Amino acid sequence: MIRNKLRRIVEYTPLYGRILLKTEYPITEYRLQQLSTDELLSILKHECHRIEKSIYNEIKEEKSEYYAEKKKRSEKVLELLESREHNQKEVISWATEILKKYDNLDEEFIKKKRREPDQLDWGAAEDTLQLVKSRRSVRVWADDQPSKEALESMANKMVEAATWAPNSGNRQAWRFKIITDDETKQLLRPIKEEHTIKAPLLVFIGMDSRVYGALGRNERSLYIDAGAAIMQMVLVGHSTGLGICWNHFADDLINSRDANKEAYDEFAQAMSIADYIAPIAIVAVGKAEYIPPIPSRPDTEAFKM
């Protein structure tokens, strides 16, 4: 019983061993000031999203105090961000508009910005399904690869696709590193397989762990959000005909051996990856030498419970 009570008030974030009190949320003005710019931006995205959602759920009036608190907190965050450097002007405009039109959000924001749904196109599912089914994990790379510039431009498109993924509470916590130089790839040798090191392009995906757990009370979502983003980047890359392989690179793999930990530390240092970034995956990209055989999947019925 005491144990349960303790568990309820103490939130333990396993990745970084931070113990924080649940009662810390809603975040106080003092605590907001202590937060990094990235954390503030994430809170702004999260809180304004929640305010907007209250219209769809028709609960803004009923829970007026709760949402007024969110508005106040978001305004404070906006104020703090005024004196901070960042490159997310679009987010500031979006949030400012929501807060400005707070009293009449449905009429002045949602009705003005929404669009009509698309015509139903049942046939489109078949095309998308074919794209999804034709994706294979590629591990053998062709000798003639696209130029570094072409690969980097593709990497940027893939990152763009990832950032449009659905994500819990609109936190948008994913972070990326694009790697084409051999020196950096070699740092991964103790942890990853040969086919990964040999890939022409690698994209590292990590998540800003600071905006989950204690700040957001949503730590499982860190991995779920990452998965959604990675899948979008994989599909966009695959749609061009490039070969892709999703490579596991999360903390369970890194912490499984001292050699892995050391290699990750060296890689993270070389790439300036902060310790609050939870590593998730390395997506390998390049022109495939061939598309490997299909690892058979049973009929969908076999997966139904």
Ligand X SMILES: Cc1cc2nc3c(=O)[nH]c(=O)nc-3n(C[C@H](O)[C@H](O)[C@H](O)COP(=O)(O)O)c2cc1C
184 neighbors 271 (Cβ within 8 angstroms): yes
Q: Which stretch binds ligand X (CB under 6 A): 81-89, 99-107, 212-220, 241-249?
A: 241-249
- Give the three-class secondary structure for 72: helix
Of 22 and 257, CB closest to ligand X: 257
Shortest distance (Å) from residue 292 CB to ligand X: 7
The one among 17, 123, 295, 298 contacting ligand X by CB under 6 A: 295
The only residue of 246, 264, 267, 276 in contact with ligand X, by rule CB under 6 A: 246
Is residue 117 within the footprint of ligand X (CB under 6 A)?
no
Of 49, 101, 136, 261, the residue at the interface with ligand X (CB under 6 A) is 136
User: Measured between alpha carbons, how far is 162 from 244 in angstroms, rounded to an integer?
Assistant: 14
Q: How far is CA 139 from the centre of its chain?
A: 25
Nearest by Cα to 98 from 66, 114, 80, 74: 74
For ligand X, what does the binding mask look like between residues 24 and 63, x meaning CB under 6 A?
----------------------------------------
The verdict on 232 binding ligand X (CB under 6 A) reads no
Distance CA 266, CA 65 (A): 48
Sign for the pseudo-dihedral over CA of 213, 219, 223, 225? negative
CB of 48 to ligand X, least distance (A): 31
Alpha-carbon span 291 to 244, nearest angstrom: 10
88 is a contact residue toward ligand X (CB under 6 A): no
121's tokens: 């196109």
Among 247, 263, 285, 286, binds ligand X (CB under 6 A): 247
Residue 207, interface with ligand X (CB under 6 A)? Answer: no
When asked if residue 198 is in the footprint of ligand X (CB under 6 A), the reply is: no
**Residue 186: exposed, middle, or buried by beta-carbon count in 10 A (0-12, 13-18, 19+)?**
exposed
Q: Looking at beta carbons only, is 77 or 245 nearer to ligand X?
A: 245
Choice from 49, 53, 248, 287 touching ligand X (CB under 6 A): 248
Q: Whose structure tokens read 């999804």?
A: 132
CB-wise, 125 or 294, nearer to ligand X? 294
Judged by beta carbon, residue 193 or residue 275, the one nearer ligand X is 193
152 contacts: CB under 8 Å, gap ≥ 6: 178, 180, 201
Q: Minimal distance in Å, beta carbon 256 to ligand X? A: 12
| 99 near ligand X, judged by CB under 6 A | no
By the rule CB under 6 A, 168 interacts with ligand X:
no
Q: Please work out the total of residues on this chain that contact ligand X, with binding judged by CB under 6 A.
A: 9
According to the binding rule CB under 6 A, does residue 245 interact with ligand X? yes
DSSP string for 31-47: HHHHS-HHHHHHHHHHH
**Cross-strand pairs, 243:** 286
> Is the Cβ of residue 96 or residue 137 nearer to ligand X in the bound state?
137
Alpha carbons 165 and 161: distance in angstroms, whole number:
7
Side-by-side strand order, sheet with 201-208: 174-179, 201-208, 277-286, 243-248
Binding site for ligand X (CB under 6 A): 136-137, 139, 193, 245-248, 295
